[in-house]
Amino acid sequence: MMEAYGSSFKFYSLGTDEQIHEFELYLESKAKKAQGPFLQAFANVDVLDIADIVVTSLTKSFNGYADLLAGSVVLNPNSRYYTSLKTSLGDSYTSDLYVNDAIQLAINSRDFLQRAAQLNSTAEYLADYLHPFASDPFGVVNAVHYPKKSTSVQRYKARMRQATDDFTPGYGCILTVESASVFFDNLDVRKGPSLGAHITLAQPYVQMVLQKQKKWAASHGLRETIVRS
């Protein structure tokens, strides 16, 4: 999407110490262009204080019922670029959100925190359950990718929100399993390309999204055998 419809960007997919160092060097020379996608709901993490702009999909878990498309843009008022960004956004922005979609989004999002808590709990349980199987060289699960199981989990924890009476942050709903095809074929859930809905969906991510970019995807650790749920 960014390549097709946006400006160029730098992609740091693995979050290793080496890539963090590369990112620091990049910031020194291209600070205005730095971009970093987070596949997490803003109920779990808060990155606004270290970003100029936070762009969030409202289509997935915030909406929660897979029946509309929406998104949000938040500017950091403490950013040194705030004034110029606000001016630029004000000059170019038009609201194309259909009024009935806005109404439905407001209705659907009323139980967002409750659903987010369930999404966190379910994904974490599955990650904990499946992760031990990845150590079996003859098993059908080759790897489990989830923030809690990542070598960079401490960086994730550093951005987690504080728990409140209404909500305890978690590791999100996106779980990626690198597996043999037999795992996906026998996975007894609905198959589809969305996420964060009120039902569990699974998809062969690279096969569906990066069909023409498999070599590039593999260089970033995204092999064609992964299943995202």
Q: What is the pLDDT of residues 168-203, one digit of tens each?
A: 999 998 888 888 788 888 888 888 777 777 778 888
* pTM higher than 0.85: no
Which residue would you say has higher pLDDT here, 119 or 28? 119
Classified by CATH at the fold level, domain 111-228 comes out as Aspartate Aminotransferase, domain 1 (3.90.1150)
pLDDT band at 216 (very low <50, low <70, confident <90, very high): confident
Whether residue 99 has pLDDT greater than 80: yes
Per domain, the residue ranges of the chain are: 2-109, 111-228
Q: How does the average pLDDT of the chain come out, rounded?
A: 84
- Could you tell me the CA-to-CA distances from 103 to 34, 71, 79, 97 in Å, in that order? 34, 14, 32, 10
Whether residue 119 has pLDDT greater than 50: yes
Instruction: Give the bridge partners for 117, in sequence order.
Output: none
CA–CA separation, 25 and 31 (whole Å): 9
CA–CA separation, 204 and 94 (whole Å): 35
